[in-house]
Structure 1
Amino acid sequence: MTVVLDATRQTTADAPVAGPAPAPVVASAARAAEKPSLIGLERPALASALVAAGVAERQARMRANQIWQWLYHYGVTDFAAMTNVGKDLRALLAERFTIARPEIVTEQISSDGTRKWLLRMPARGAGRPVEVETVYIPEVGRGTLCVSSQVGCTLTCSFCHTGTQTLVRNLTAEEIVAQVLVARDRLGDHPGGRTPDGAMVPTEGSRLVSNIVMMGMGEPLYNFDEVKTALLIASDGEGIALSRRRITLSTSGVVPMIARAGEEIGVSLAVSLHAANDATRDVLVPLNKKYPIAELLDACRRYPGLSNARRITFEYVMLKGVNDSPSDARALVRLLKGIPAKINLIPFNPWPGSGYECSDWETIEAFADIVNEAGYASPIRTPRGRDILAACGQLKSESQRMRARERLALEAMVAGSDED
């Protein structure tokens, strides 16, 4: 089943689904652009914002802790719902700040249950709204949310659809955290367990969003500070409260930032490897020309907290005739010797205009057998959401076109100034 949902209409291929996003979500972009948001602020910054709004300094820390819990544990979207906060303060907060969500432009539901949201983030400063994609993958006993860190990407990995969209801008911590909150809203994953149409969600105490992977649009380590803030909020015990072991940051190999990620964020690490030699990886992941495999693996060996209980995941997309031979598998095993690791084999997910084909299933299984026999777990990732372009490497938004118009307008303005 594929469902497309937007702010004004809903079309369903073969079955009804929950109604459209509630009006407060759809109408949020304009409000968020008018007022600063409290979402995505670290506790000290949240307290400082309250002081600047007129809250007594001696009360600001306590109030910040209360608001923090309402924002992230309960997921409220209206200051009026913060019942242990005084009425006058709630009115002040509503006047000065917003906690509105991004606009849900479309929601697509795959035949396998995977959901993809196209979210429109409100304009920042003189800029325009931008759009990113976020994907939820339901599995037995868990649910994984794939979160974006940038609009577009600078890395141009040749097998990745996002790489065909140049970087528009980094996302803020607010915009990264908001993706998690929107997913929990739509799934009814906040305490109380209700979906937007009011239906109860029978979770039996479990969480629908149990895992986060920073594997959406963009390279997280090129937006380090905002990603760090967002993931520390996600792992805060009084906030979204996900274990850091259930949060994975994926990088294409920004070597100088890997140690900092381990020391300052402390989440699980995944590395988009995809080749066992520099010649092949230079083509698939052009960043390899700057940080070749030997440097990348040295950084992985030094990753803080690395152990057999906390392995690095190496992602390896299976491309027919490119990196999928038995000799490639044996080279990969030799390359990773001594690194506590798991190797995720990812069948290539096609996208319009891609020049690659997915390896045959027998080839993938033979590759996995070689890796397994060497002592490495090498699960073959089941493609999810391919029919809605929600699978690994398929995400992209149209914000590139918007950025191009902005750039042309800016160039014209500058040219006019020069003439004056």
Structure 2
Amino acid sequence: MSSNSNVPSNKDLLAKIVDALPHTTPFKAPEAIEVELGRTFMLRLGANESNWGCSPLAQRAAEDIASHLFKYGDPQSVELRTLLSKKLNYSIDSILIGEGIDGLIGLIIRAFINPNDHVITTHGSYPTFNFHANGFGARLIEIPYAGDQIDLDGLLSAAIQYQAKLIYLANPDNPSGTAYDRHTIELFVAKIPEGCLLILDEAYADFMPNTQLAEIDVYTSRVIRLRTFSKAHGLAGARVGYALAHPNYIATFHKIRQHFGVNLAGQVLCAASLRDAAYIEQVTKEVAEGRAEYYQLAESLGLRAIPSSTNFVTIDVGSIEKSIWWVKRLAEEGVFIRRPGTGALSQCIRITVGTRPERALLAEIMRKIHAEG
């Protein structure tokens, strides 16, 4: 095939910001690892999904909606926003439904960030924020963890020093699993400098007691809260999340969002799941039991588990080399997990809490591997 010299190269067409970016993806999917290994995983404990699956009500809704998938979803997500409004006591105009928290983070950065604006995050925290920030030409300032926890004072100091537009904070945090209580978060919010917004990622909020979730008035604070149906609700494949924010911010997002970005099946399944509070309560209770089992397992192996407020537990195995070894050996035994790979957490492995049979099998495999030395 002959080439046409008049056709511009890909490099000529690319936006300068995009052209300067390295080729990267925030996560390596377990499916990609399975292709490399040439086999499927027996235990999938690395993506922090809910291995209990979604609510029976959501499963029935999935069957019912199948014959309606020729339709577009409701671009306003009225039913879902109405249910969330009643559940959370937020006005419907302060709620936005999006394509998971990942999509919402991208929307927020697009709305507020100009090239070279500074944004603040924790080095090694949820990487999708970095992915979007870099993609829109922001100047990313990363603050190290303070031990196992996010350094709140460090985030605030950097925001002031760099006159940052955005601070990203995951509470509970991924990948450490640690969380600050409501009083600490409320004090943090009160100290956010003028001209700065806080993105408060609460993907794992369902695993915390309601009494420990911060009371934040989005009408008087510069905070955008993000939550998801991917964790306790067991609907990661539906790709639905939501933002809670001042109606002025929500109205801004409506200017630029994909109005048909949230699919019909996702809307219907999430609405059904919200109507089954008893099932979500059961899942979170079993996750708490599983975390306790992981703590005991780690202790029995001479390892340190970091107390978690999520559906995973991060375990300190002593060194970077050992963490890499554990991930490799578990994969060879058919178990998919991940390792944080940053700072003090780089000597850790992160394991999703599985069902009771999955936990029993994991314990057996880990004891076998540990015996190898």
TM over 0.5: no
Normalised TM-score (structure 1): 0.26
> Which structure exhibits the higher relative contact order, with contacts defined as CA atoms closer than 8 Å and separated by 6 or more residues?
2
Normalised TM-score (structure 2): 0.28
* Bigger helix share: 2
